[in-house]
Structure 1
């Protein structure tokens, strides 16, 4: 049976660490917001560290994250930002204490490495949501969903979908996924989650159209779409095109790759590298229902 981290309550301690790129500027706004939620915020050493593009060298970042994972007084761990670096330290981490006493891990983008590894190895839910560096720009709704996920409140979501070519239907399964490029970076490794019977969420930022097409082909050829129960496509932002143009939208690329499948497909879900980055609880069972214009995601366990 899946072990669920305890939901937060006022007075709990949470940690902010930087397992990937270093922070430009500060996260004072995020700290104040977390404190306004009644939480005591502890800052890891990597929050103020820098080593080339990273928040400390690999050893320093692994040790800082290990501290946050192991300290029993800490009830949730926030990655301050993404960037790049988690894949460099994932094999240095010991999750034995985390497995015995799980806590919420929060982040997106490069933090997909940690989400995917934890799903593959332990099946413990984690939260894909706003990170402290993105709190200041984040919408009120995105922060509300993050707080709700952490404190055990409802994070079901529904929205109207007009333009993209969704595929109508219903599917149930454990929610997995995250950043598309990062999912590719752990493909065929010990951090590569089993996609069979799952609802997959994908998003990305700053990629070329042809690169997204190539990554989708890689997942298709690896058999990752074959037994999905549903697919949710979030933000694909700051996309780069060539001259001549690649000639397909992200939605068209996706539908090409899953044309032989029959699971529901949703587009424009408000999650990813966007200000309105709604929290998703990865590792929890969900129901995805798509009608002609409406998409609903409901947590069912």
Structure 2
């Protein structure tokens, strides 16, 4: 799987939205930060347009993203925010130019659909904090800095503390994943990537626990969990319950649905809808190790030598 060219000072990063609208104030920090790193910043023409909850109509968002995708001067696209709307337009995107001149697609949450499409096309992308998240919350500085490091091609090394539900072991393969709700939504569609041989990572926000269970059941019944090399579980934030409790926490639900398999599993990675949301290179060959003392993910070009 190829990675787009890593960025150099003076390269251009575009900011757009394929989902919800935002406002200039929310993006001002991101624009300044990208410029401070030495990049040029261009903004999508419809970035601040409001059409219901979306950043413009489906046609406007599609047209804008296509123009930025096809522009050879743009080396990366950082999405302004998530929400909902990407899957409404994804089937109309023409990826021909992208395959000739791949560029970094950078975002998470609803943007998971685009990261999965890039994975399906054999191109790496970046699961990371989006432009509206460039704020001063504790932990955010590390998240923002991790974007710069990945765009410049610095090797990934991410770790997590030991967790009682972890399953030890080591594995290697391309990294795949993102928002669980989006992954479940993509099953059976032209955007769904192949799970076989991948290290899958999951995160989600604001779901009922039975919804989480239903999505894990969907992935399992569809055969998507059986042939993984490993499972990395990030933040399951603000999970809710019904008046009659579901009876298990989010991590326990996930652990139950992968208990039949032998691959390593680790919980608590700093990825998801929290201020500490470190950038992950989707599609990159990684080594994944889970020990009694903790777990790690790191770049490993020789990843296929692991079993």
Band of TM-score, shorter chain: over 0.9
Segment drifting more, 238-247 vs 204-213: 238-247
Q: Does 1:151 align with 2:152?
A: yes
Structure 1 contact 164–251 (Cα < 8 Å) conserved:
no
1:215 is paired with a residue whose SS is helix
Match of 2:82 in 1: 82
Query: How much has 1:298 moved relative to structure 2?
Result: 1.0
1:53 is paired with a residue whose SS is coil
| TM norm structure 1 | 0.97
Match of 1:129 in 2: 128
Distance 1:68 1:143 in 2: 22
Distance 1:187 1:16 in 2: 28
Segment drifting more, 72-81 vs 2-11: 2-11
Query: How much has 1:157 moved relative to structure 2?
Result: 1.2
Distance 1:207 1:296 in 2: 27
Segment drifting more, 64-73 vs 151-160: 151-160
Match of 1:73 in 2: 73
Q: What is the CA deviation profile of residues 15-67 of structure 1, one whole-angstrom value per residue up to 9, with x for unaligned ones?
A: 00011011155300110011111001000012211100000000000111111
Match of 1:160 in 2: 161
Q: Does 1:3 align with 2:2?
A: yes
Query: How much has 1:141 moved relative to structure 2?
Result: 1.2
Match of 1:141 in 2: 142
Distance 2:45 2:239 in 1: 34
Query: How much has 1:193 moved relative to structure 2?
Result: 0.8
Q: Does 1:181 align with 2:181?
A: yes
Q: How many residues align?
A: 298
User: 1:230-249 counterparts in 2 under 5 A?
Assistant: 230-249=230-249
User: 1:1-301 counterparts in 2 under 5 A?
Assistant: 2-24=1-23, 25-120=25-120, 122-136=121-135, 137=137, 139-161=140-162, 163-301=163-301
Segment drifting more, 240-249 vs 217-226: 240-249
Query: How much has 1:155 moved relative to structure 2?
Result: 2.0
| TM norm structure 2 | 0.95
Structure 1 vs Structure 2 CA RMSD: 1.0
2:201 is paired with a residue whose SS is strand
1:227 is paired with a residue whose SS is coil
Structure 1 contact 19–46 (Cα < 8 Å) conserved:
no
Q: What is the CA deviation profile of residues 113-149 of structure 1, one whole-angstrom value per residue up to 9, with x for unaligned ones?
A: 10111211x1100000010001114621111111100
Distance 1:72 1:64 in 2: 14
Distance 2:49 2:151 in 1: 27
Distance 1:221 1:183 in 2: 14
Query: How much has 1:265 moved relative to structure 2?
Result: 0.4
Structure 2 portions without partners, runs of 5+: 302-307
Query: How much has 1:93 moved relative to structure 2?
Result: 0.6
Structure 1 contact 18–81 (Cα < 8 Å) conserved:
yes
Query: How much has 1:244 moved relative to structure 2?
Result: 2.0
Query: How much has 1:293 moved relative to structure 2?
Result: 2.3
Structure 1 contact 286–299 (Cα < 8 Å) conserved:
yes
